[in-house]
A and B are shown apart, each in its own frame.
Chain A
């Protein structure tokens, strides 16, 4: 099947992008050097096309109640204009996807799902919302999603929008204009830096992209691909669905039990199983690993204890471009999860020593 192209495909081609097929989309992997793009996001700014993400809109008097039932979070308690990171799980508590829920109005919510899970999440929401007075619509076709991430993002956007960006709080969204185009502007991201995500009509995406590139010139903004997005989120200790998150693990295993609101009113899908895990605790847990070496532990590699016994498995790993050493996330037995624990990873037949460290690996200064 031919991969879908985003409305910015021609822009990516003109910039010399190398593409990758991801979740049925042809997405830019990198434009030039993924290390340079990574550093740009950490020091100046990067511009991403994230149109592959799924957008699902719920409207109606019981939209909030439907989401309270369908997801682990308390969506109806989100203030209008604010957003929350949350998850959708199976009845057994296994994670189906991690999501951001934006409350756009009193009775309107936007759910942003990972590209690879967008159809599944939409189907689940339709089913789980069936008994509620709400309409669930897959609006993925109606939105292009751009992200400006990095310390210079505010300066770059400031000249393009009438909104005073100082009033745009973290995890909040504002309907406004950017470069004269209607945009839902959100202060969210997946890089560990300050930044904004811009939901725009597909037809408007090229003009907004061009305006951001132009305004970014004075700030050394670089177009940035999915390659650096992965190393950026890894350094920031953010989970990636399919790596850290999957149906075999609950949010508690991923150290994200805080997103599960067991005390919200009413029942929700996964509640019973999640309450049991919250009560009993987990036997394996997600940790950060730091290696002095440059050979990165990678997805699927075995984690060993000091005696050489297998105690876990790596979920993501890379040589950290910012830190200069290798970092990884891994599920390990609880007994090996304490920061400071000396472990090893079997990196293609050779044991590389690693140490358990607190996440995130990288945290921005302010």
Chain B
């Protein structure tokens, strides 16, 4: 059997909504969706991202990822202000499929409470979550 195993980088943090969070500075993080999530979605054909300067609360909808078959919301894993967005996804939404942890990143947030990152799932916990689905 050719079952593909989803990549879950050790150094990232994760959410139950299948997003990854990477620290990029003392109070900033980069966010995207996991390899497992993109595999479940199938070919991503459209990504809707928030505008720069928007502030978001935990659990608030940040945007949408559309595949040919379905639409999924992207939820804010942490509270903060949107300080960067990956404009490449407008023209190349498939980067979410081909490089979910790299060029397929979605937004960067400046956090109100940088310590909140530590409360997210670590790679081992996320691995268990994804395996259980």
Contacts and interface: CB of A to CB of B under 8 A. Distances in A.
Contacts of B2: 13-16
Given A34-B69, A295-B66, A296-B66, A319 B46 contact: yes
B42 A227 contact: yes
Given A295-B48, A318-B68, A33 B43 contact: yes
Contacts of B4: 16
B7 interface: no
Interface string B1-25: 1111000000000000000000000
Nearest to B61: A348
A259 to B, nearest CB: 28
A13 B71 contact: no
A50 B8 CA distance: 35
B45 A319 contact: yes
A319 B71 contact: no
Interface in A287-327: 294-296, 298, 318-319, 321
A285 to B, nearest CB: 26
B64 interface: yes
Interface in A24-61: 29-30, 33-35, 38
A346 interface: no
A149 interface: no
Given A14-B2, A33-B42, A319-B45, A227 B69 contact: yes
B56 to A, nearest CB: 17
Interface string B34-53: 00000100110110100000
Given A13-B1, A14-B1, A348-B64, A294 B69 contact: no
A291 to B, nearest CB: 12
A227 to B, nearest CB: 6
A230 interface: yes
A294 B97 CA distance: 17
A10 to B, nearest CB: 9
A30 B66 CA distance: 17
Nearest to A296: B66
Interface in B63-94: 64, 66-69, 71
Interface string A334-352: 0000000000000010000
Contacts of B1: 13-14, 16
Size range of the chain A interface in the assembly: 20 to 34
A304 to B, nearest CB: 19
B63 to A, nearest CB: 11
A35 B68 contact: yes
B71 A348 contact: yes
A231 interface: yes
Nearest to A295: B46
A35 B43 contact: yes
B43 A34 contact: yes
A146 B4 CA distance: 26
Contacts of B97: 33
Nearest to B4: A16
A206 to B, nearest CB: 16
A321 B68 contact: yes
Given A34-B42, A35-B43, A16 B3 contact: yes
A231 B71 contact: no
Interface string A189-218: 000000000000000000000000000000
A295 B67 CA distance: 10
B67 to A, nearest CB: 8
A15 B1 CA distance: 8
B34 to A, nearest CB: 16
Interface of A: 13-16, 18, 29-30, 33-35, 38, 227, 230-231, 294-296, 298, 318-319, 321, 348
Given A13-B2, A227-B69, 4 more contacts: A16-B2, A29-B42, A38-B68, A295-B66
Nearest 3 CB-CB pairings of A with B: A16-B2, A294-B46, A35-B43
30 contacts: A13-B2, A14-B1, A14-B2, A15-B2, A16-B2, A30-B42, A33-B43, A34-B42, A34-B67, A34-B68, A35-B43, A35-B45, A35-B68, A38-B68, A227-B42, A227-B68, A230-B69, A231-B68, A294-B45, A294-B66, A296-B46, A296-B66, A298-B71, A318-B69, A319-B46, A319-B66, A319-B68, A321-B68, A348-B64, A348-B71
